[in-house]
Structure 1
């Protein structure tokens, strides 16, 4: 069952809607897909789905798909027969067999290969598989819960994830809101983590947060979500005197005046032609640049020192038309540079996949950009 420290906490409407969705999904013997950014609590959601289901007394088995290569992942999931490969001296059951009549949670599902995805599809459809190196069909009754921080529909469109597996997994999808969309929950979670850390340090009580600390916590965007918040709060509590409210919040523990200097590859101070790579540095050497002192011009030239020539415009000019032409050229160059992979193109342009699709439709570029 859940420990007290693992309880899902929050009062934001978006979060309460997720809890309601889980309550409705839990009793069903259907696969569920949990999607969310890193640190949003996907594993806690999966555990809640299991322990609220009729399978709560049976095994709840977990596996991170990104932690193993394809061969090991296949063996872990489906087991193997004696002699299947070097070192396989006896038969080994896999995670699906361990989870028989229970629940199997697969994290980082997007990292699985086409072979693994094909075998997962068969288990979902027919409840059967063969162990590695075996021919006998093994039947299991397992509820599958999968999680990822990737946009699986986009990966399916690009052929990087099986569309038929996605269809079977997505009986329903639980999409967890990031912490920046749950700002009313930030201090509730922060106090929860602070109190737990206070107990761990054997302090008598938690003195709270100062106004400055509270504002710092509320103003930050939390790209690492709840996991990052937990680390920041626990660090602040242990560094703080237990008799006064927490005042200083250290978001980045690496920030220090003694932090090692950044290593930047040097670029020769020579002219290069368009689209030509600068000459490589002999023996693959790198230059260490101290940001606090600027080197002499004849010592080193970095890519940051090379100024792009500013374009010359002839006025009057149609700003709207010029802007559209610039956007089209930029998108087309990014597409070509990404070999027309739309997900990679969106990343190069700092857009979401759906924002990029909007631009492609706007400028009628879809036909030339489909994979």
Structure 2
């Protein structure tokens, strides 16, 4: 249970989308209605849920959080609603559930989309009537709780698939707050990076953080951050603590902790089950002569770039490293060939091409 410290929910950012989201939070916070917080992994949904609590009239009451994906169905039921003595093997004493613990305050249901259907009905009853029973109990208990759900799932799609109750979604979705991904607020990346760097510098008991080199800042802003703020924090902290000379600005951003100089060479990437390729010594594969040499070279170059982007999951810094290029060289080639810089942009471009062909 979070005992409550408003300082712990400080959020950093000045991008228009981020500021608009915070204003939405401030407007929804004073109400006692359920709220959904939707966003990709690593965007800070739990911090937004906490902010809803601390800006409400319930801020002095308990803030209780449950990660619904971390528990089995039976454990989650006991964790949410509590249980009586003898409710199951090993239940030697009564257990107070999270709905009881959060009485008068806020209950945050993280990873909401993973809750089993059977339990969703019980949660709906608590939200509608403020009543529930402990596991193994017969007494009806009452609680006054504001429920905030957090998820990266598409809940309406889960309803269509029969994995989430439509009536529960209706009750939870009094209002829905969408947390923008980091790629939609690139102007906030340098500020966040500096904040994380200063914190890890202090943790390492160093006297000063010397900043980032221009190349490092460009790499930070140019990266797509599929893991969002959490991934940015890890990359910055990793880069600071592994810097060889802490008195100098950080020159290299260590995006991928799994990158290894000892990785085995990739062979037969398209068909890993294929056997070794046998070719007689001196054999030369025939190369077709193109009608337009420059166009053929451009086309080949474009194919290589597209393949590298896909394999790097559209992480430009990773793609540049794979191709032996600098980050700026890759950016120049992408611009030359008019290639999209993100997977989403590629998808939109493909959609537009299909529509124009009809």
Please confirm whether the aligned pair reaches a TM-score higher than 0.5, indicating the same fold.
Answer: yes
Instruction: Give the distance between the partners of 2:91 and 2:8, measured in 1 at CA.
Output: 40
The alignment partner of 2:91 has SS state of coil
SS at match of 1:57: coil
| Aligned position for 1:39 | 42
Shift of 1:157: 1.5
**Equivalent residue number for residue 26 of structure 1:** 29
CA offset digits 1:60-102 (Å, max 9, x no partner): 1111000001000000000011111111112111000000111
Contact 2:9 2:50 in 1 (8 A): no
TM-score, L = length of structure 1? 0.71
Which of 103, 107, 110 aligns to 1:107? It is 110
Q: Which of residues 187, 190, 193 is equivalent to 2:190?
A: 187
Aligned residue number for residue 154 of structure 1 = 157
Please show how residues 355-366 of structure 1 align to structure 2 within 5 Å. Answer: none
The Cα offsets for residues 136-176 of structure 1, whole Å up to 9 and x where unpaired, read as 10100001011000000111122111111000000000110
Does the aligned pair in 1 maintain the 2:9–2:51 contact within 8 Å? no
Structure 1 residue aligned with 2:300? none
Give the distance between the partners of 1:135 and 1:67, measured in 2 at CA: 27
**Alpha-carbon deviation of 1:3?**
6.8
Gaps of 5+ in 2: 280-342
RMSD of equivalent CA atoms: 2.6
Structure 1 residues 325-340: aligned runs within 5 Å: none
Select 2:141's aligned residue among 138, 141, 145: 138
Distance (whole Å) between structure 1 residues aligned to residue 249 and residue 202 of structure 2: 16
Distance 1:49 1:4 in 2: 13
Match status 1:11 vs 2:14:
yes
1:93-104 correspondence runs (5 A): 93-104=96-107
Counterpart in 2 of 1:197?
200
Over 3 Å counting, the alpha-carbon distance change for 1:238 and 1:266 in structure 2 is closer
SS in structure 2 opposite 1:61? strand
The number of aligned residues is: 281
User: CA offset at residue 120 of structure 1?
Assistant: 0.7
Q: Secondary structure at the match of 1:228?
A: helix
* 1:296 to partner: Cα distance: 4.7
What displacement does 1:259 show?
3.8
Larger % of helix: which? 2
Are the aligned partners of 2:113 and 2:153 in contact in 1 as well (CA < 8 Å)?
Answer: yes
What residue is the counterpart of 2:258 in the other structure? 254
- Give the Cα–Cα distance (whole angstroms) in 2 for the partners of residues 68 and 208 of structure 1: 42
Deviation of the 1:135 alpha carbon: 1.3
Query: For 1:295-335, what per-residue CA distance to the aligned partner results, in whole angstroms no more than 9, with x for missing partners?
Result: 4559xxxxxxxxxxxxxxxxxxxxxxxxxxxxxxxxxxxxx
TM-fit CA distance, 1:198: 1.0
After superposition, the Cα gap between the structure-2 partners of 1:73 and 1:197, relative to the gap in structure 1 and judged at 3 Å, is: same
Matches within 5 A, 1:1-371: 1-2=4-5, 6-240=9-243, 241-259=245-263, 267=273, 295-297=276-278
Cα–Cα, structure 1 residues 25 and 141, in superposed 2: closer, same or farther, change >3 Å? same
Tell me the TM-score normalised to structure 2 length.
0.74
SS, match of residue 49 in structure 2: helix
